[in-house]
Amino acid sequence: MIPPIASKFVAGETPAEALDHARELNDRNVAAILNLLGEHYDERRPADEDAEAYLRLAEDIGAADVDACISVKPSQIGLDAGVEVFRENVERIVEYAADRDVFVWIDMEDHTTTDATLRAFEELTVEHGGGVGVCLQANLKRTPEDLERLADLPGKVRLVKGAYSPPEEVALTEKSAVDEAYRDQLEYMFEEFDGGIAVGSHDPAMIDRARELHDEHGTDFEVQMLMGVRGDAQFDLADEYEVYQYIPYGDKWLSYFYRRVAERKENLLFALRAVLGR
């Protein structure tokens, strides 16, 4: 059982609990991105097991009255065990989900996985005419070129600032530089993309900039935020825009919870208040 202090950031240990949380969000006009916790499997067996779990999750979403999609991590479904393992698993997840009208996001991990992840996205999103999304990290120096590469493809692109710590030769390290890059890349997306823009940020300044660009160009976008972070803002934004909450679940919740707390001390305060009922 997930303790109350962690349940602010993790929906539960089972798909049923995650889907229940998604339904509660749907009642407030927020859609759900469901992610089974797990990553960096260097053997095929656990990667295949989690891939099978995603097939069952796609089946559950397709059969349920819920506005939800799924998100997979390449290292969770086999990339660390070999590119061929990842490709086999991501292809069968996307194909199975597409048959059930369930959208699939491919998360982006550290910079060494970018090429393999983008190649998989490009092939699958063309094959399925969309129905697949990928994440790009604004702090990587290569991202402007990657955006140009993806601009004319179907599917969606989620732009985040970047949660990993790449070396300076491949990434921007100063916060101000990352913020500037994020704004520049958002502007490019609204100018060159025909929709499919996902603003993956909790930063009010970046969300406000996306709203301005939407008004200027008329290009649709969605906002994506994590479960447990700026919940009230998510509901407020959902009155005007499409909003998705990224919802992790599963028995590997402990490391994920520590990561959320380490990112911002306010996250620990929020969790403690939830436990204390304040």
- The per-residue pLDDT for range 69-125, each reduced to its tens digit, is 999 999 999 999 999 999 999 999 999 999 999 999 999 999 999 999 999 999 999
Which CATH fold would you assign to the domain 4-276?
Answer: TIM Barrel (3.20.20)
**Tokens representing residue 237 in the block:** 């934004």
DSSP 37-88: ------SHHHHHHHHHHHHHHHHHHHHSS--EEEEE-TTTTTGGG-HHHHHH
Q: 179-224 pLDDT, tens per residue?
A: 999 999 999 999 999 999 999 999 999 999 999 999 999 999 999 9
Catalytic-role residue among 50, 80, 87, 158: 158
β-sheet bridge partners, residue 74 = none
Residue 158 is a catalytic residue = yes
Catalytic-role residue among 107, 179, 209, 260: 107
3-state secondary structure of 162: coil
